[in-house]
Amino acid sequence: MFEIKYRLSAKEYETLYGDKGYYQMCYNDNSYGEIYAEEIEEVMGTTYLYDWLKDMVQIAIELHSKKYVALSNIESHNQWIEFEKDNNNLYIRIVTADKPNGVGFIVYKLSNRKYEESNGSNSHVSFAEFKKEIITKCNSYILDISEINHKSNNKQKICILSEMLSRLKKLEIYND
């Protein structure tokens, strides 16, 4: 079981309404991220929802040709989400590892990894299910922010995410 949940922030936005919000990734009995109620949003702050969804699309694209991808938790100095593909099985783990200066948010190798005890290290999801959920939720997110930002002149981010999602969908057609 793999599911992505999100909620747009009602309070914070920079150039694009819906840029910030909350997300949660649920995989089997594990989860990563948190969705807070609107009433406590100011206390809990928000995360960069757009960036996280864009990174998840990029990870799904990369996993078509790579067996390992890790995503940095930008709110932590050493936490990563690790995605390791073995045929159609995808292992998702939370790990701690070094983050040298200049390293990107998405990497293909981590040094000095340490696994968190409750990270679901033996748990896996179907790679096909992972891709399908990313496509479904990103489509939903694009529709949500397009509707809200329909009068905005700044639709560049929406176009970038849409183009990335189109690339992933094309990989679906040719690889599944």
pLDDT (tens place) for every residue of the chain, 176 residues total? 999 999 998 765 667 788 899 999 999 989 999 998 888 887 888 888 999 999 999 999 999 999 999 999 877 778 899 999 999 999 999 998 887 776 778 999 988 888 766 655 667 999 999 999 999 999 999 999 988 887 776 688 899 999 999 999 998 665 54
Distance CA 57, CA 132 (A): 11
Residue 150: per-residue pLDDT? 75
* Burial letters 59-88, b for 16+ CB under 10 A, else e: bbbbbbeeeebbbbbeeeeebbbbbbbeee
Tokens 């045929």 found at: 87
Residue 77: per-residue pLDDT? 79
pTM of the model: 0.89
Residue 101: per-residue pLDDT? 72
Residue 100: per-residue pLDDT? 74
CATH-assigned architecture of domain 2-175: 2-Layer Sandwich (3.30)
